[in-house]
Amino acid sequence: MEFSDLITRRQSVRRYDDRPVEADKLNRLIEAVRLAPSASNSQPWKLILVTEPQLKDRVAAATFSSLVSFNSFVPRAPVLAVLVIERPRLITQIGAALKDRDFPLIDIGIAAAHFCLQATELGLGTCMLGWFDEPKVRALLGIPNHKRIGLLISLGYPLPDDPVRTKVRKTREQMAAFNGY
């Protein structure tokens, strides 16, 4: 698949088939994250794939509530990916302090993009989730309290009738320029 086709086809999926994701596809997703670039090659992440159905449902329940229901689709995804932020290399920490940049957050975003694009190429759908009960997810997965979770990603096969969403995007003139702001 051409890269331009891949990025056009990728969308946030909120309706999943209940069939499990095959181990070989999960391994390819792990490899996509493993090979993602990062500042000073720090690779400041730990990827946790939650595939055990009861545990996955408990983690999914931590992404919404009766007051905040926009993630109520998450329990239907057969897999949840959790990207935990790890301490970067010392050189990256020094550079981040000098340049006032949060490189691990940037790196997590790149790793998540690799995950989602690889999933799309494999015929899978994803949705990045920034809204979740972090202490609850940490407790469920045995993540140490001093660690931060960057984001969760729902993963599975999109339902065949899942509508293709028209993506409202900024115009080229609104989001890009040559040689100046």
Q: Is residue 163 part of a domain?
A: no
Tell me which amino acid residue 73 is. F
What CATH number did the domain enclosing 84 receive? 3.40.109.10
Q: How confident is the model over 35-72, as pLDDT tens digits?
A: 999 998 999 999 999 999 999 999 999 999 888 888 99
Percent of the chain with pLDDT over 90: 77
Q: Is residue 64 part of a domain?
A: yes
66 vs 20, more confident: 20
Joined together, the tokens standing for residue 57 give: 């449902």
Q: Is residue 95 part of a domain?
A: yes
Q: Is residue 54 part of a domain?
A: yes
User: For residue 34, what pLDDT band results from cuts at 50, 70 and 90?
Assistant: very high
Q: How far apart are CA 158 and CA 119, in angstroms?
A: 11
Q: Is residue 179 part of a domain?
A: no
Give the global pTM: 0.92
Q: Is the Cβ–Cβ distance between 19 and 78 less than 8 Å?
A: yes
106 vs 163, more confident: 106
Number of domains in the chain: 1
Give me the domain span that covers residue 101. 3-158
pLDDT of residue 97: 82
Q: Is residue 27 part of a domain?
A: yes
Q: Is residue 164 part of a domain?
A: no
Q: Is residue 150 part of a domain?
A: yes
